[in-house]
Amino acid sequence: MLRAMMDVKGPFPRKMLKKGIFAEKHFEDDANMSFALLEEDPVTKMPVRRLIPNPTVKNSFAQLLSRSEGDRSRVAALADLLDRMMALDPEKRIDPDAALRHPFVRDYVPKKKGAAGGAGAGAAAGE
C-alpha cells in the first residue's frame, strides 16, 4: 500500500517519517529515507528486502481515472479531490468542511428536495 501511495504522490516527507512509529520498519534512516520493499524472490521464493532510494511519481489520479470512460470535467474534479484528500503530509490534506465544498461533491452529489433550508440556505451562508 505504501508503494502504491508513493507511485501516485511521490515520497513521504522526511519530517513525517521521523515522527512515524513504524517508519523504521518500512524506510531506511539514510539521506533519502529509502523505501524498503519486501518482495518474494522469483527463484528461491524467499522474502527479499529491496531498497528504493528515490521513489518517483508514476501516475497521477487523473491519469489513473482517465482510463475509465466518462465526463472529463467530472474525472478531473474527482482526481483533484482525491489528490487533496491523499496528501501525504496530514497538515496539507483537505479538511472535511472544505471537501464538502469541493466542486466534485458540491456539483455531483444530488441535493435533497424539500429539505429544510433548501438550495438557498447554502448561498445565504456564503457558500
Is 127 inside a domain boundary?
no
Give the global pTM: 0.51
Do the Cβ atoms of 95 and 48 come closer than 8 Å?
Answer: no
How many whole angstroms separate alpha carbon 13 and alpha carbon 32? 10
Do the Cβ atoms of 35 and 27 come closer than 8 Å?
Answer: yes
Kindly state whether residues 44 and 68 are assigned to the same domain.
no
How many domains is the chain partitioned into structurally?
Answer: 2
pLDDT band at residue 118 using 50, 70 and 90 as cut-offs: very low
Kindly state whether residues 48 and 89 are assigned to the same domain.
no
Domain that holds residue 31: 1-58
Percent of the chain exceeding pLDDT 90 equals 17
Kindly state whether residues 4 and 53 are assigned to the same domain.
yes
Higher pLDDT, 31 or 25: 25
How distant, in Å, are the alpha carbons of 37, 38, 39, 40, 48 from that of 43?
A: 17, 15, 12, 9, 11
Kindly state whether residues 54 and 86 are assigned to the same domain.
no
Kindly state whether residues 65 and 52 are assigned to the same domain.
no
Is 105 inside a domain boundary?
yes
Kindly state whether residues 73 and 104 are assigned to the same domain.
yes
pLDDT band at residue 10 using 50, 70 and 90 as cut-offs: confident
**Rg of the chain over all Cα atoms, to the nearest angstrom:** 20
